[in-house]
Structure 1
Amino acid sequence: MLRLFTLLTTLPLIVLTGTIFFRLVEGWSWLDAYFFTVVTLSTVGYGSLVPVTALGKIGTTIFIFTGLGVFALTIQQFAAFAMRKREQHTEKLMGITARGAVHESPSDAANTDESAPG
Structure 2
Amino acid sequence: MSSFLKIVTLFLTLALVITGGTLFFHHVEGWNYLDAYFFTVVTLSTVGYGEIVPVTTVGKIGTTVFIFVGLGVFAVTIQQFGAFTLRKREEHTEWLIAHLGHRHQRDEPHAANADDQPEPPKHDTPNA
Normalising by structure 1, report the TM-score: 0.85
Q: Report the Cα distance in structure 1 between the residues aligned to 2:110 and 2:35, rounded to whole angstroms.
A: 67
Change (3 A) 1:105 1:83: closer
- Unmatched tracts of structure 1, length 5 or more: 107-118
Aligned residue in 1 for 2:50: 47
Q: Report the Cα distance in structure 2 between the residues aligned to 1:83 and 1:53, rounded to whole angstroms.
A: 44
Q: Report the Cα distance in structure 2 between the residues aligned to 1:8 and 1:91, rounded to whole angstroms.
A: 28
How much is the aligned-residue C-alpha RMSD, in angstroms?
Answer: 1.4
Q: Please, which of 34, 38, 46 is the counterpart of residue 31 of structure 1?
A: 34
Larger Rg: 2
Q: Report the Cα distance in structure 2 between the residues aligned to 1:80 and 1:51, rounded to whole angstroms.
A: 35
Moved over 6 A (4+): none
Change (3 A) 1:90 1:34: same
Change (3 A) 1:105 1:39: closer
Normalising by structure 2, report the TM-score: 0.79
- Unmatched tracts of structure 2, length 5 or more: 113-128
Q: Secondary structure at the match of 2:70?
A: helix
Aligned residue in 1 for 2:101: 98
Change (3 A) 1:65 1:100: same
* Identical-residue share of aligned pairs (%): 61
- Residues matched between the structures, number: 106
Change (3 A) 1:32 1:100: same
